[in-house]
Amino acid sequence: MGRRADYAIRATLALARAPERRHKTRELATAMSIPGGYLPQIMAQLVRSRIVTSVAGPRGGYALARAASAISMLDVIEATEGDPTAGECVMRGGPCRWDDVCAVHVSWTRAQQALLLQLSTTSFAALALLDADLDAGTFVLPPDLARLRPTPEPTTGTSSDEVP
């Protein structure tokens, strides 16, 4: 995911946290640490994708175009960056094709499918609730997510050249 999608997710989350009103660009940029000069381009993409509405004028601003529960993270990523799984083959550096399978193709494809499923089933309503819990200090990270990477094996004090 690139910077554009990152900023779009932040802005959409800010809108989902207070869906009852319109938000000005400056307010969104400040609240979510998004460069103010860059945000109008991102918001325009979200408006074109019918995720956000825009009203001009002193009482205008941005609001969600539909309920936060009906907007997924995948919707926002696709609106700003396109298909998050499109790209190059990890091993060969060219376009990824099924007719020219590499050693990591099956595992990589399964991982991408899992990512797409998670992104498509994560709504901005759920994210707004989680964000409120984080702000309140009431969120507890589930134990299975405490470490995103495997813990390194403990060292035994022998070098890799020594035979145990």
DSSP assignment string, 64-130: ESS-GGG-BHHHHHHHHHS-TT-SB-TTTSSB--GGG--TTHHHHHHHHHHHHHHHHH-BHHHHHHH
| Digit-coded pLDDT (tens) for 94-141 | 667 667 777 788 888 888 899 999 999 999 999 999 999 999 999 888
| Digit-coded pLDDT (tens) for 125-135 | 999 999 999 99
pTM: 0.80
